[in-house]
Amino acid sequence: QVQLVESGGGLVQPGGSLRLSCAASESIFSFNAMGWYRQAPGKERESVALIYKFGGAKVEDAVKGRFTISRDSGKRTVYLQMNSLKPEDTAVYYCNAQRGIVGTHSDDYWGPGTRVTVSS
């Protein structure tokens, strides 16, 4: 059973930074992509950033230039560096691992989520 465990969430002031981590129970290369989604109160879950098995990444326009996704295969961990945080970034952030065709969500795994609150 795949386990994904997020950490690094918390309360931060606008303009601040946080780094989220997602530790996987198996090699991150057993997935075609890993990444981060978020769900704000009253809104649907949305994609934030993905990093692909063979390299490359996709960062959504809402966070492009502020958020960076990276990975450490030795630690089986994917990171989300979040800079210049805004109140609208407030959400629960979920780690996602896709073993099926990327984007089809046919074989996905999810972490329990970590809450990020951006407020003064």
The band of 17, judged by pLDDT with boundaries at 50, 70 and 90, is very high
- Whether residue 105 has pLDDT greater than 90: no
- Whether residue 94 has pLDDT greater than 90: yes
Half-sphere exposure at residue 99, Cβ-oriented, CA atoms within 13 angstroms: 10
What the block records as the tokens of 85 is: 């945080």
pLDDT at 106: 87
3-state secondary structure at position 25: coil
Q: What is the mean pLDDT of the chain?
A: 96
Give the end-to-end CA distance of the chain in Å, rounded to a whole number: 40
pLDDT digits (tens, 9 = 90+) for 28-58: 999 999 999 999 999 999 999 999 999 899 9
**pLDDT, mean of residues 97-101:** 94
pLDDT at 81: 98
Q: Let me know: does 96 contact 109? Beta carbons within 8 Å.
A: yes
